[in-house]
Amino acid sequence: MASYRVLIKPSAAKEIEAVDQKTDRQRIVASILALADEPRPVGSEKLAGERDRYRVRLGRYRVLYSIADDELLVLVVRVAHRKDVYR
């Protein structure tokens, strides 16, 4: 299987930098990089009402991303605390 390209929106990159705990940041970055090999990992869920938007749960944080299978592209749209991510 071909590897996907992972792009992170600048706003999502700022959200990652704003995460307080270094271990949480490292876990978020590792899971985002893992999306290149498996864009739909175990535990990921397609968001209702969205055409190609998925989410991965990482403790208190959520990573929202979209997948373009025809372009082999994963675009990270949002990274935030679970209480704020869907607003």
Tell me the residue range of the domain where 21 lies.
Answer: 5-81
**In 3-state terms, what secondary structure has residue 68?**
strand
Q: What pLDDT does 2 receive?
A: 72
The position carrying tokens 């704003």 is: 18
Question: Does 31 map to a domain?
Answer: yes
CATH number, residue 63: 3.30.2310.20
Question: Does 65 map to a domain?
Answer: yes
Is the pTM value of this prediction over 0.75? yes
Question: Does 86 map to a domain?
Answer: no
Question: Does 21 map to a domain?
Answer: yes
Question: Does 55 map to a domain?
Answer: yes
Question: Does 12 map to a domain?
Answer: yes
Structural domains of the chain, count: 1
Say if CB 24 and CB 59 are below 8 A apart: yes
Question: Does 87 map to a domain?
Answer: no
Q: What pLDDT does 53 receive?
A: 93
Each of the 87 residues of the chain gets a pLDDT tens digit; together they read 679 999 999 999 999 999 989 999 999 999 999 999 999 999 999 999 888 899 999 999 999 999 999 999 999 999 999 999 887
